[in-house]
Amino acid sequence: MNPFDGSGSPRHEEAADGGASRCPWARFSSWLECVCVVTFDLELGQAIELVYPQDVKLTEKERFRGKRSHVLLHFPGCLGDTQFSFRLRQSVGRRASRFREDVYNRDAPVTLQTEVSHFFGYVYFRQVKDVSVKRGYFQKSLVLVSRLPYTHLFHSLLQIVAPEFFEKLEPCLEAVCNEIDQWPSPVPGLTLNLPVMGVVLQVRIPSKTDKPGGSPVRQTTTQSVLIHLHILWELTLLGEPLVVMAPSPTISSETVLALVSSISPLKFCCDFRPYFTIHDSEFREYTTRTQAPPNVVLGVTNPFFIKTFQNWPHVVRLGEIKMAGDLPKQVKVKKLSKLKTLDTKPGIYTAYKTFLHKDKILIKRLLKGIQRKRPSEVQSAILRRHLLELTQSFIIPLERYMASLMPLQRSVTPWKTPPQIRPFSQDEFMTTLDHTGPQLTSGLKGDWMGLYRKFFRSQNFDGWYRHRHKEMTQKLESLHLEVICDAVSSFIKQSEKTSLQLKVQSPTKSPVSN
């Protein structure tokens, strides 16, 4: 069977019951779409050596980033072992996996829900000298393709599996896939033990009822632009076109994922590509100069992009990671006109002016932490907490106003259609900020109202509003169904009571005597 000749996989139907029937690969498909092995062939160049399970099907568009290179085939060209992530569009018409994604998404945090339109790829690439190979180097990638944005879990899995796989190859991969097929499906709120290759990964699947804590942000990836943290937060919040130029695929993907997660628990609703190359099928779409840049965050490493993205409004150039304890060299926000040469220095190239003032106390605390060699986990925790509180201060007034648009419960009656949710009025919302605004929970000063006005024009607001409106509509429909059921139940009880009373009150007929 050719694994690339169709648009769906039969195991998706098998997984529709969550794996209860234990059809082949039912549970596997609740975690991974497939595992791919990519190698370098002297005659074919970069080529897919193996796809597992063998019945998985990827469309031509998903196979190719461009006419010459497979989406999974771009080798980073780094000696040693390298890990990074990518994200790609699914083909239109592809049948989504049916491992009860509706149930999973209902209970999962909005930032960790599966996506209908995109796959995530998690890569472990190895390039080492090998005199037994004509080219002189052993070059292979092990790639996990999934609909789940579980970056830390899948990279941890690769760290266990990949080194062993590079030694034992296909038999090792087959054994691992069979082990994953024994894993229970991911259920939000549960802690699962996931055995693989003699190691047990204990994983708690996050639930939307959990206290928000934000996704891990690696502070080391943004040392050189740390003092401009609030610029990056605002640009991400507003869904502005942003390019991250990094020295490696690892730093590129980590930085893009850190930016996207910086506005958690708000979902980033624009496109983002942790590692973007000239072979991506969207390359022309994203680099054309005949129209405004799209709302997307791109992570790139090729110096070619410095010239290509000169017309983009916001560019972040990262340098090599410094050793722990090295105080990063302070960089300034620079004009885009200076983004011309290949030796462009690290910094942020933008004309953007922030609405809010920076938190100087936080920045000094983080910089002092670097100087004193504070553990990166502690630094990340400080940064995550600050960004979480900042985003919550921004989103809470919106949540409160949105809740006020919900009809009163007493207006839901069984004899009429459910009442409508009142429309969102930006002007009316602005009038609520004096009493319920972010100044109540955040010490940051600045033009909060200006930030809200620009946020209303972003895809992030549109995505947030659609999601909340859908939830509220479902709540109204549920309430309406409850009052209908209560009314029917009351009617049945009353009918039974009336019928019983009629029977008791009816006189017994006596026989007629002649």
For the chain, helix (H) and strand (E) counts, in that order, are 14, 13
325 and 370 Cβ atoms separated by less than 8 Å? yes
**The three-state (H, E, C) secondary structure of 416-453, written as one string:** CCCCCCCCCCHHHHHHHHHHHCHHHCCCCCECHHHHHH
Residue 201's SS3 state is strand
The sign one gets for the Cα dihedral 79, 83, 89, 91 is positive
Distance CA 267, CA 211 (A): 16
Q: Any idea where the domains of the chain sit in the sequence?
A: 28-205, 228-384, 398-487
Q: Give, for 38, the enclosing helix (H) or strand (E).
A: strand 34-41
HSE-CB of 8 using CA atoms within 13 angstroms: 13
Residue 103's SS3 state is helix
Six token digits for residue 78 = 């780094």
pLDDT for the residue 342: 53
Q: Residues near 337 by Cβ (< 8 Å), separated by ≥ 6? A: none
pLDDT for the residue 54: 74
What pTM, to 2 d.p., does this model score?
0.85
281 and 66 Cβ atoms separated by less than 8 Å? yes
pLDDT for the residue 430: 97
Q: Which residue type does 203 have?
A: V
329 and 316 Cβ atoms separated by less than 8 Å? no
pLDDT for the residue 217: 44
A 10 A CB-CB count for 332 gives 10
Q: Which residue type does 72 have?
A: L
CA–centroid distance for 72 within its chain:
19
CA–centroid distance for 432 within its chain:
31
Distance CA 87, CA 72 (A): 10
Six token digits for residue 170 = 């296909």
pLDDT for the residue 89: 85
228-384 CATH = 3.40.50
Longest dimension (CA), the chain: 125
What are the strands of the beta sheet with 80-89, ordered from one edge? 45-52, 34-41, 137-146, 118-129, 80-89
pLDDT for the residue 322: 56
A 10 A CB-CB count for 445 gives 10
Q: Find tokens 């940051």 and name the residue.
A: 444
The sign one gets for the Cα dihedral 152, 380, 359, 222 is negative
Distance CA 67, CA 61 (A): 10
Distance CA 480, CA 122 (A): 44
Distance CA 402, CA 263 (A): 19
DSSP string covering 182-197, please?
Answer: TSPPP-TT-EEEEEET
What are the per-10-residue average pLDDT scores of the chain (514 residues)? Answer: 40 44 76 89 72 69 41 63 90 56 87 90 89 78 94 96 89 92 94 95 92 54 72 97 93 94 95 90 82 92 83 87 53 65 75 93 90 88 93 96 90 83 96 92 94 98 96 90 83 77 64 51
293 and 312 Cβ atoms separated by less than 8 Å? yes
DSSP string covering 55-101, please?
Answer: T----HHHHBSSSS-BTT------SEEEEEEEEEEPPTTPPPP-SSH
A 10 A CB-CB count for 444 gives 18
- Cα separations in angstroms, 402 against 32, 335, 406, 420: 36, 39, 7, 13
What φ, ψ does residue 195 adopt, rounded to 5°?
-80, 135
Six token digits for residue 81 = 């072992």
pLDDT for the residue 198: 93
Distance CA 293, CA 102 (A): 33
Residue 224's SS3 state is helix
Six token digits for residue 158 = 């690769």
Q: Give, for 493, the enclosing helix (H) or strand (E).
A: helix 459-505
